[in-house]
Amino acid sequence: MKNLLVICVLMSFAIGLAGCCKNGKSVDCNTKLKDVEGQSGELGTSFSITCPAGCRGGSIWGTDTYTTDSPICLAGIHAGVIAQDKGGDVKVTIVKSLPSYKGSARNGVTTSDWANSWGDTAFQVSK
């Protein structure tokens, strides 16, 4: 009977973990592309993350294409993929870095210009 209880507890734990992040990798409001574990950085690679509600503030560069040191969740809000008060799933796609980045104000997030290329890659967000 004791073994059965242990098995039930372990199965419940495993089921809970499987559902924890089924829509993507859980991150916080300040997570940048370089912070996402297992990210290969190959052009065209896509993955999903789950952003928490309430993200605001922070430094972010670009419009529609963002520098790799920009917070992914803020980019998702700026691009209109998720709402600031709700959070949610964001698909991230790695793209070629731009020669420069133009800032803008959208959905309560203001991004900045960056006059130079930033590494070899950048990212875009979508639903």
| 126 pLDDT above the threshold of 50 | yes
pLDDT for position 7: 36
Cα angle 119-124-126, degrees, rounded to a multiple of 5? 165
Report the number of distinct structural domains present in the chain: 1
Show the domain range for 107: 24-126
Q: For residue 106, report the phi and psi dihedrals to the nearest 5 degrees.
A: -150, 140
Residue 106: per-residue pLDDT: 97
Task: Kindly give the pairing relationship between strand 121-126 and strand 65-67.
Answer: antiparallel
Spatial separation of the C-alpha atoms in residues 90 and 78, rounded to whole Å: 12
Q: Provide the residue type at 39 as one letter.
A: Q
Domain membership flag for residue 92: yes
Domain with residue 105: its CATH number is 2.170.130.20
Q: Is residue 15 part of a domain?
A: no
**pLDDT above 90 coverage of the chain, percent:** 66
pTM above 0.85, yes or no: no
pLDDT digits (tens, 9 = 90+) for 13-47: 333 333 234 346 668 999 998 888 666 578 999 99
DSSP H stretches of helix in 47-124:
72-78
Residue range 81-111, pLDDT digits in tens: 999 999 999 999 999 999 999 999 999 999 9
4 occurs within a structural domain: no
Q: Spell out where 68-112 has E strands.
A: 88-96, 105-106, 109-110
Q: From CA 36, how far away is CA 49, in angstroms rounded?
A: 9
pLDDT per position as a tens digit, 40-65: 578 999 999 999 999 998 999 999 99
